[in-house]
Amino acid sequence: MASESSTVVNMEYELLKQNLDLQDVNIVIPIPGGHAPVVNQGDGNYRYERGHLHWSLPLIDSSNTNGSLEFTIPWTGDSSNFFPLNITFSSTKTFSDIKIQSALSSDTGAPVPFSQDISLSTERYVVE
């Protein structure tokens, strides 16, 4: 929503795969014109730095499936200037939830001890 001299931006997230637990979620939003935003309401933490609003959420999981951030900037123009969003997060679960049930020796076929570490992290996740 925009007035003649300012724009109100409302961003929302929703966790659709409720078996996931996304940790240390960081969303970086470009702010056009270098105007410092005024946050009206927001879940998590936020800070403005070098032309970007950094929105961080410690955990998004089944007990915290949605949230929002609303801010105002003294600027009007094309909403595409708020993109791309750069997002990082990690998880101890994967999208497919595949787990190794057992490991077998290739020589004997007998079960062997094993361990597994499950990790999901973003190298680059962008919303354009």
Give the position of tokens 């123009």.
77
Least Cα distance to 82 among 118, 31, 42 occurs for 31
Four-way CATH pick for 7-93+104-127: 3.40.50.720, 2.60.40.10, 3.30.1370.10, 2.60.40.1170? 2.60.40.1170
Domain boundaries, the chain: 7-93+104-127
Instruction: Indicate the DSSP class of residue 124.
Output: -
For residue 27, what are the β-bridge partners?
55, 87
Least Cα distance to 82 among 93, 63, 91, 69 occurs for 69
Q: What is the pLDDT of residues 44-97, one digit of tens each?
A: 999 999 999 999 999 999 999 999 999 999 887 888 899 999 999 999 888 887
Residue type, 106: S
Q: What is the pLDDT of residues 97-125, one digit of tens each?
A: 788 899 999 999 999 999 988 888 887 78
What is the reported pTM?
Answer: 0.82
Nearest-angstrom CA–CA distance, 15 and 37: 26
Whole-number Cα distances in Å, 40 to 5, 43, 72, 122? 17, 11, 7, 29
